[in-house]
Amino acid sequence: MAEFKRILISEIVIPERLRAVEEEQAVAIAQSIVEHGLINPITVRATPNAKGGKFTLVAGAHRMRAEQINEETEIDAMIVLGDKAEAQLIEITENLFRNDLSVIDRAVFVQTYREVWEAKHGAVEAGRPGNRVNITQLIADEAAAVGGFTRHVADRMGVSRETVKLLSRIAQNLHPDVRSAVRGTAVADNQSALLKIAKMEPLKQRQTAVAFRTEPDLKKALALVDPPAQLSKKQIEQATLLSRLVTAWEDASEETRSQFLEHIGLAEGADPLMAEIKSEANDE
């Protein structure tokens, strides 16, 4: 059962969080609170034995920081019952369905949600009974009703099940070094690029992370890690000759072109196909 109460900010302990507080976003929320008040209270759980406070923050770090910016000493809060795992699920649930999350952050949240859930309640499977524990009861009921974790998350996020599967694939296969390297860049929100990197073997992914820190253009970074196949000496010679032939043809006069065509058997009087080729060449 949850209790609504106004509590001292100084009595709230902030645990290590999956999503760091972004100061610019907190400032924007602070301005909104000045104009409209705090619409949604933060969520905390009672932890009277915790070092440094009577409550532990579950959800609402940006709102709490916003109130601190506004020099408030108290904040509206929903106090819920639950252990650390349940608190993690609530935090993930709140952040998972935000529109401003990048693809990579959303992928991490989906994977962490599943890991925490299964560690506490067992594997999420279609038709699994039970899984009703205090503040996660609603989530559990939904998971059982819709028939599986993937659909459960997809329905709550408002996306397709295929999207959830792709996010899970990114989270499970993307090397931590890559996550760290691309976070905060455009690549972090590029699902196709993340899936491409996730298919690489771990060593190549680590090399990609190092290259990306040096060269922020992903295509160039990937080229550094996996350069195109080198041409043989013979292929290089032939490519050079072709280039020279094309240049010579463009620089040649009509008379010289005719002489060349005659030399290779495309002069007038040759078969119709050759004549047509000559005609097209002279038209250039």
Tokens in use for 149?
Answer: 């974790």
Rounded distance, CA 47 to CA 25, Å? 28
pLDDT digits (tens, 9 = 90+) for 190-216: 999 999 999 999 988 988 888 898 888
pLDDT band for position 172 (cuts 50, 70, 90): confident
Tell me which range, 90-99, 116-125, 206-215, 232-241, is most confidently predicted by mean pLDDT. 206-215
Domain locations along the chain: 1-81, 233-283
148: left (phi over 0), alpha (psi -120 to 50) or beta: left
**Any idea which of 3-12, 91-100, 123-132, 213-222 has the lowest mean pLDDT?**
123-132
Band the pLDDT of 3: cuts 50, 70, 90.
Answer: confident
Identity of the highest mean pLDDT range in 161-165, 235-239, 243-247, 256-260: 256-260
Please name the fold of domain 1-81.
Answer: 3.90.1530
Query: Is the Cα torsion angle 201, 202, 204, 208 positive or negative in sign?
Result: positive
Q: How confident is the model at residue 139 (pLDDT cuts 50, 70, 90)?
A: very low
Q: How confident is the model at residue 270, as a pLDDT? A: 52
pLDDT of residue 9: 93
Predicted pLDDT at 129: 40
**What pLDDT, on the 0 to 100 scale, is given for residue 8?**
93
On whether the CB atoms of residues 33 and 71 are closer than 8 A, the answer is: no
Question: Does the pLDDT at position 69 exceed 70?
Answer: yes
When pLDDT is cut at 50, 70 and 90, the band that residue 145 belongs to is very low
Can you give the pLDDT at residue 138?
46
Report DSSP letters for 205-230, one per residue.
HHHHHHHHHH--SHHHHHHHHSPPPP
Q: Could you report the per-residue pLDDT of 42-55, keeping only the tens digit for each?
A: 888 888 776 767 88
Straight-line distance from the first to the last Cα atom of the chain, in angstroms, rounded to the nearest whole number: 84
Q: What pTM value is reported for the model?
A: 0.48
